[in-house]
Amino acid sequence: MIGLVMDAVLMLLLVCAVGFGVRLERRLKVLRDGQLAFAGAVSELNEAAGRAEAALASLRAAGQETDLLHDRIVRARELKGELERLIARGGDAPARTSSPAPAPTPVTRTERPAPIPARTPEPAAPTDRMAALAQRIQALAGPAVAEGRGDVAAIVRAMSANPVSERIPNRTVRAQDDDLFAA
């Protein structure tokens, strides 16, 4: 009889152990599911970090391009001031016969162009202003330049005579500046 009681107690303990094992299995399953979800979140975070790095790199590149564009704008303003001074000086001078145009004075970054007195003529169309500018530069270049594309050639010569473009060390940047000002 004692053997029977001992078998019953042992069976009861085995049933309790099986119930505890089932309960433990459920908790482990929830833990494994949470671990898989965490691994998925980590991989998504890694992808987002990669996209953020790429965006930061493109932002840095855009910042460098902005700096380059700012330098070009500064140089273009210097050229504009130089051209305005040449035009103002050429409009007051008598017509030249065959003397070469004087070399432009180099403009440094610290030097600001002298303000040109504002004229208040009637507003002209942009094409009229460009034609007037081309005629003034043509007059500065002398009578040796032919009509038609000579206007463009005189403008290009006047713009390329600026020593600011010679200070650019990078060959590709200089070529881009030539393209920018030749158009």
Closest CA to 164 of 69, 76, 102: 76
How much is the average pLDDT of 15-40?
A: 95
Q: Is the pLDDT of residue 59 over 70?
A: yes
Which residues fall within 8 angstroms of residue 177, CB to CB, at 6 or more apart?
72, 75, 165, 168
| pTM of the predicted model as reported, rounded to 2 decimal places | 0.34
Count of residues making up the chain: 183
> Is residue 138 very low, low, confident or very high in pLDDT (cuts 50, 70, 90)?
confident
pLDDT in the model for residue 122: 53
Return the structure tokens found at 81.
């001031």
Position 137 scores a pLDDT of: 75
DSSP code per residue over 162-181: -GGGGG---HHHHHHHHHHH
Per the CB < 8 A criterion, the answer to whether 86 and 104 are in contact is yes
- pLDDT of residue 131 exceeding 90, the answer is no
- Among 63-67, 136-140, 145-149, 162-166, name the most confident range: 63-67
Alpha-carbon span 75 to 167, nearest angstrom: 11
Is pLDDT above 50 for 145? no
**Residue bearing the bigger pLDDT, 125 or 116:** 125
Contact (CB, 8 A) for 180 and 72: yes
